Amino acid sequence: MGVGLIGAGVISTQYLENLTRFPDVAVRFVADLDLERAAAQAAAFDIGASGSVDELLARDDIEIVVNLTVPAVHAEVGRQIIAAGKHVWSEKPLALDHASGLELLAEAGVAGLRVACAPDTVLGPGIQTALRAIARGDIGEPLTAVTSFQVPGPEAWHPNPDFLYATGAGPLFDMGPYYVTTLVHALGPARRVQATSSTARSTRTIGSGPRAGQEFPVEVPTHHSALIEFAAGVSAESTFSFQHAFARTGVVEINGTEGTLSLPDPNTFDGSTRLWRYGSSEPTVIEPVGEVFGRGTGVVELARAIRAGVPERASGQLALHVLDILLGIRDAAESGTPVELASTVEPIAPLPADWSPQTATLVG
């Protein structure tokens, strides 16, 4: 299936490294506002064409367009892609507000097209192995969950961290999608959220690169603590923070009637799972089953779902529900009152253990 990319920034390298070696897709065009940058990425990965967005959307040999633009225009560019008659794979978040995301999905529905969205880390063997353990009853009935992402802040290492502290970002919207998407895969849709938030400092200082020493403004809270209530009666306590001197990341724990499962870091595709059962002093280590790849895995899963006429797992409906949970956390923290969620999503089955993006299934 023909694929094109819009956005030749840093993240495009990870996508292109994988998409150019997956046999079910063929990358045929790289587009960017900066035509030289697009050409450089196309040349680096031996892709035959590059140029403007309009040139990409005019091509008949491209069915899926990977949208790697900045979050503020994800929904707008997604609608352009739909208007051109092509399916969308979007980097997260799907949109910055519910109405924009809903409009994008509605236009895709009318056109008979698909919208899917990152993160696809949840499709890696690390998280998928854990999801299969939950599905087969290793911890009994799920009851509660805990997730934690706590770091000092990305300005220590990122040479241009301003956008990570701007509206639509912060730890909640930058890192929250990885953790909340994993929770929805494991526990189903949420129905209500409560939250608090805080901001440690009004400015931050860049710690590396050519702009080291420069200050920039902080526009969003740098810490959110949330209680997420799920439709099935399960609850999760989640922390997203850029103001912890002691870094603690990758924590996803799900507790059930028969035990507790510690999942791998949801921002990775690999990692083992640990299972504690009541009465046991040591965990059982469950090694990941499946081939480990990276960003772009979800594009292959989308392509196969389109050809098979079945729902894709990283669906736009899932991404919109995850966005609504994050917006609910933001709004609940601002108002001091719980927020009821209007959207929902169907339960998502784990991938088969032998699923691999490296297998040729659409050839011929």
Peptide bond into 210 cis (omega under 30): no
pLDDT at site 160: 87
Q: How far apart are CA 156 and CA 158, in angstroms?
A: 6
- Residue 364's pLDDT band, with cuts at 50, 70 and 90, is low
Lowest mean pLDDT among 82-86, 157-161, 326-330, 338-342: 157-161
Domains annotated for the chain, with CATH where assigned, are 2-117 (3.40.50.720), 122-286 (3.30.360.10)
pTM: 0.94
For residue 332, report the phi and psi dihedrals to the nearest 5 degrees.
-65, -40
Tens digits of residue pLDDT in 187-238: 999 999 999 999 999 999 999 999 999 999 999 999 999 999 999 999 999 9
Q: Which residues pair with 66 in a beta bridge?
A: 5, 89
For residue 228, report the phi and psi dihedrals to the nearest 5 degrees.
-105, 125
Hey, how many other C-beta atoms are within 10 angstroms of the C-beta on 272? 15
* Helix/strand/coil for 244: coil
* Average pLDDT over all residues of the chain: 96
Q: How far apart are CA 116 and CA 47, in angstroms?
A: 23
Hey, how many other C-beta atoms are within 10 angstroms of the C-beta on 286? 19
| Contact (Cβ atoms closer than 8 angstroms) between residue 230 and residue 261 | no
Tens digits of residue pLDDT in 70-79: 888 999 999 9
Nearest Cα neighbor of 101 from 67, 51, 50, 130 is 67
Over residues 84-108, the mean pLDDT reads 97
pLDDT at site 168: 82
Nearest Cα neighbor of 160 from 169, 149, 151, 147 is 169
Query: Tokens at residue 73, please?
Result: 């225009």
Tens digits of residue pLDDT in 126-177: 999 999 999 999 999 999 999 999 999 999 998 889 989 998 889 999 999 9
H or E element that contains 325 = helix 316-335
The length of the chain is 364
Share of the chain above pLDDT 90, in %: 94
Over residues 122-128, the mean pLDDT reads 97
